[in-house]
Amino acid sequence: MTGKIEKEIEIKKLNLFYGDFKAINDCSLDFYKNKVSAIIGPSGCGKSTLLRSINRMNDFVDSFSIKGEVLFEKRNIYLKGYNVISLRKKVGMVFQKPNPFPKSIYKNISWAPEINKFEGDIDELVENSLKDAALWEEVKHRLDDSALSLSGGQQQRLCIARAIAMKPQVILMDEPCSALDPQSTSKVEDLIKKLKKKYTIVIVTHNMQQAARISDFTAFLYNGDLIEFGVTENIFTNPGNKQTEDYITGRFG
C-alpha cells in the first residue's frame, strides 16, 4: 500500500525536547497524501508534541528544541530562514477544544483570507468552506450571528471550515472530538473521511475505536518512542509488536 502512494510529510530521526526533558525519541515515519493518519498512545506519550512539530507550533514554547528533520514539500521545515507563515497556511490546525473567534460565523471564515490578501470572491470562499465542513445548511441563514452561539459540535466544524478557507494541503487535528458529545463526534468523523479526498489529515486521538474507524494509517507512541506504524487494519488486527497488542487490547494505558 505504501509503495503506491505519495508521501506528504517525512519525519526523519526526530528528537524533540522541552528543556532537558526528551518528549520524542528518534522518531521516523511518513504521512501520506490524501490519507488519514492517526497517532495513538497513553496520555503524556508525546502525541501532541509530535503533531505540533509538523507546523512548528512548538516554537511558541520557550524551552522547546529539536534534532532531526521534518520534510514538507521535500524541504526541512526547521532549516534556518524557512518561511513559517507560509508553512502554517499550507498545514492548518484544529485544536482539542473548539476555539472560534468572538466574531460572526462569516467573519470566522473570511478574516484570515482577507488579511492574507485573498483576491477571489470572499462570499464564495465562505460558502464553499462551510460546505466542505458540512456546516453550510445549518448556518447559511445566520452568518451574521456570533460563532459563540453555535453548539460545541458546530463550533468545531466551524474551526475546520476556518482551516479549510486557507486552502491548506494538510490539516492537523489534536483530539478534535474529545470535548464533543457522541452525535457531534460522529459528524466530525464522517467529515474527516470526506475531507481526505482533498487534504492530508493527521489526527491525534485518545480513542482507539475512533482511530480504527477513520484512519488509513496508525502510529502508536509510548513514552516518546514510536513503537509501531502501519496500515490501521494491520495495527488493530495483527500488530507486529507485543507492546502495541497490549495497548490496543487494554492491558495497559
The per-residue pLDDT for 116 is 87
The per-residue pLDDT for 253 is 58
Q: Report the C-alpha gap between 109 and 126 in whole angstroms.
A: 6
The per-residue pLDDT for 232 is 97
Q: What is the pLDDT along the chain (253 residues), one digit of tens a residue?
A: 545 789 999 999 999 999 999 999 999 999 999 999 999 999 999 999 999 999 999 999 999 999 999 999 999 999 999 999 999 999 999 999 999 999 999 999 999 999 988 899 999 999 999 999 999 999 999 999 999 999 999 999 999 999 999 999 999 999 999 989 999 999 999 999 999 999 999 999 999 999 999 999 999 999 999 999 999 999 999 999 999 999 998 876 5
The per-residue pLDDT for 171 is 97
Report whether 8 contacts 31 (CB < 8 A).
yes
The per-residue pLDDT for 250 is 84
Which amino acid makes up residue 217? F
DSSP state of 61: S
Using CA atoms, how far residue 165 sits from 2, 212, 243, in Å, is 29, 28, 40
In 3D space, the residue among 144, 149, 112, 143 whose CA is nearest the CA of residue 127 turns out to be: 143
Q: Report the C-alpha gap between 53 and 30 in whole angstroms.
A: 14
Residues 6+ apart with CB under 8 A from 152: 98, 179, 180, 181, 184
Give pTM, 2 decimals: 0.94
